[in-house]
Amino acid sequence: MSTEASKKAFNEAQSLIPGGVNSPVRAFKSVGGTPIFINEGEGAYLTDVDGNKYIDFVQSWGPLIFGHRDESIEAAVIEAVKHGLSFGAPTVAETELAKLVVSFFDSIDKVRFVSSGTEAVMSAIRLARGFTNRDDIVKFTGCYHGHSDALLVEAGSGAATFGNPSSPGVPADFTKHTLLAEYNNIESVKKCFADSSDIACVIIEPIAGNMGLVPADKEFLHALRKLCSDNGALLIFDEVMSGFRGSVNGAESITGVTPDLVTLGKVIGGGMPVGAFGGKREIMAQLSPEGPVYQAGTLSGNPVAMAAGFAALSKLKQNARVIAVLEERAKTLVAGMKRVAAAEGITMQIDVRGSMFGFFFNEKPVKNFANASESDAELFAKFHAGMLSEGFYFACSLYETGFISTATTDVMIEDTIDAAARVFKAIKNG
Ligand code: KE4
């Protein structure tokens, strides 16, 4: 498999763009080799600039639950474009998508659209601080909530990948209000509330996807809910990744825990730049121009992006069972990978939530970031490179999650397991 054109493209990109990429995790730094430059996507497939085809398990880090170039989403975008790209004025398209989002989440009465998950989380944090008139926030080591200053503390995803979970350039004054707790450890959260009476909110990925896939224990989330309620702090579920991937009705429908605010992204834009945050009426009423908490965006609610999101969520509305179908495929995939790895003496921890799947090369179960970071990163890199050469595109960091789309067929799943068997054998034979 030649990747000469990707190498050439990467060299040129590095002369103009820091690291040659517009988002660090794409640089393949933790797995080595040259990042693959993509020419196009179609269904379950990516084709790179050398003409190599791959089955895509990244799907733009989650948005493409219906695969690349879904007909109805593409048609909706093309139709919207014919009416103009952006107006900076309200459109009915925003209300229509808001209606859909609200219909899926019991916890959401009102929603505000922005252009990324980072913006959604940054805004939700400000809203929580404004609503409670408190300054401190609690996040969990290994959770990633986008790159706004207050959240770049012991973050997951790319930040963990590069070993700088707390980024330079963020003044200590900006993060002194960010308290850290350990995922799935309620005692660590109780300590935060003992240390501060000024906690505005606790933000958590209820299905963590940025330390690898590590779902929160149900009883932990229930205890977290009680702790927040007892202390007058808001509970924020960051479902930018897990929203419409773990369940169409949010983690609240799986766990029975109702958050005060939810942040969303990825799938709700159908592949276009959309983020959102929503919650109960009385909290959202604090948001400008209704209330005093300021938040704004030139392209927020962009009509073309709204059309893509509406098409994507409409498909989910018409066929909510799709997540259950994708979950079965995800389970088949990781169980098969675990089986063929074991045949070569390699131990894998695996997990699935809806269309999200994760795996660790680790002897022990993974319940938090400390456990995840004990996984075999070198073996992960060899696996990633081997699968890539076999035509399977996995996330280029062990601190990420894999995804199944409706375009990922059962045959593709079996082919992936067979390829994994060859890769593990080659790794073992050195
Ligand atoms: P964006 O600003 O990248 O749209 O969303 C930030 C964000 C917030 N919350 C959660 C739970 C997220 O997973 C993300 C972004 N996810 C990463 C993938 N792990 C985006 C990929 C990247 O950074 O390039």
pLDDT digits (tens, 9 = 90+) for 336-369: 999 999 999 999 999 999 999 999 999 999 999 9
Which numbered atom of ligand 1 lies nearest the CA of 208? 11
Residue 311 host element (H or E): helix 303-318
Q: How far does Cα 401 stand from its chain's mean position?
A: 8
Concerning whether 54 is annotated as a catalytic residue, the answer is no
Judge residue 59's burial from the number of C-beta atoms within 10 Å of its C-beta, 0-12 exposed, 13-18 middle, 19 or more buried: buried
**What residues contact residue 194 under an 8 Å CB cut-off, 6+ apart?**
none
203 C-alpha to center of ligand 1: Å?
A: 14
d(CA 21, CA 15): 11
270 C-alpha to center of ligand 1: Å?
A: 15
What tokens does 308 get? 């893509």
Concerning whether 183 is annotated as a catalytic residue, the answer is no
Length of the chain: 430
Mean pLDDT of 71-94: 98
Closest CA to 404 of 329, 321, 310, 344: 329
Q: Write out pLDDT tens, residues 211-267.
A: 999 999 999 999 999 999 999 999 999 999 999 999 999 999 999 999 999 999 999
Average pLDDT, rounded, for the chain: 96
How confident is the model at residue 206, as a pLDDT?
98
Say what the pTM is: 0.97
Q: CB within 6 Å of ligand 1 — which residues?
A: 23, 25, 61, 116-118, 121, 144-146, 157-158, 205, 209-210, 238, 240-241, 265, 275, 400
Q: Write out pLDDT tens, residues 6-63.
A: 999 999 999 999 999 999 999 999 999 999 999 999 999 999 999 999 999 999 999 9
d(CA 379, CA 373): 13
Among the options 238, 338, 351, 393, which is catalytic?
A: 238
Under DSSP, is residue 429 helix (H, G, I), strand (E, B) or coil? coil
Domains of the chain: 4-57+321-428 (3.90.1150.10), 71-318 (3.40.640.10)
Q: Which amino acid is at 172?
A: A
Q: Which amino acid is at 103?
A: S
Q: Write out pLDDT tens, residues 411-427.
A: 999 999 999 999 999 99
Residue 99: CB atoms within 10 A of its CB come to: 12
Alpha carbon distance, N-terminus to C-terminus of the chain: 20
Decide if 242 contacts 205 (C-beta within 8 A).
yes
Q: Write out pLDDT tens, residues 368-406.
A: 999 999 999 999 999 999 999 999 999 999 999 999 999
Q: Residue for token digits 């022990």?
A: 364
d(CA 419, CA 174): 47
Q: Taking 60 as the threshold, does the pLDDT of residue 163 lie above it?
A: no
**What residues contact residue 318 under an 8 Å CB cut-off, 6+ apart?**
none
Among 213, 240, 242, 299, name the best residue to mutate to test ligand 1's pocket (greatest count of ligand atoms within 8 A of Cβ).
240
Concerning whether 410 is annotated as a catalytic residue, the answer is no
DSSP letter at 33? Answer: S
Q: Taking 90 as the threshold, does the pLDDT of residue 168 lie above it?
A: no
359 C-alpha to center of ligand 1: Å?
A: 19
d(CA 166, CA 154): 5
Which residues lie across from 113 on neighbouring strands? Answer: 276
Among 59, 214, 241, name the best residue to mutate to test ligand 1's pocket (greatest count of ligand atoms within 8 A of Cβ).
241
DSSP letter at 268? Answer: G
DSSP for 178-228 reads EEEE-TT-HHHHHHHHHH-S-EEEEEE-SEE-SSSSEEPPHHHHHHHHHHH
Q: Residue for token digits 């079965």?
A: 328
Decide if 372 contacts 399 (C-beta within 8 A).
yes
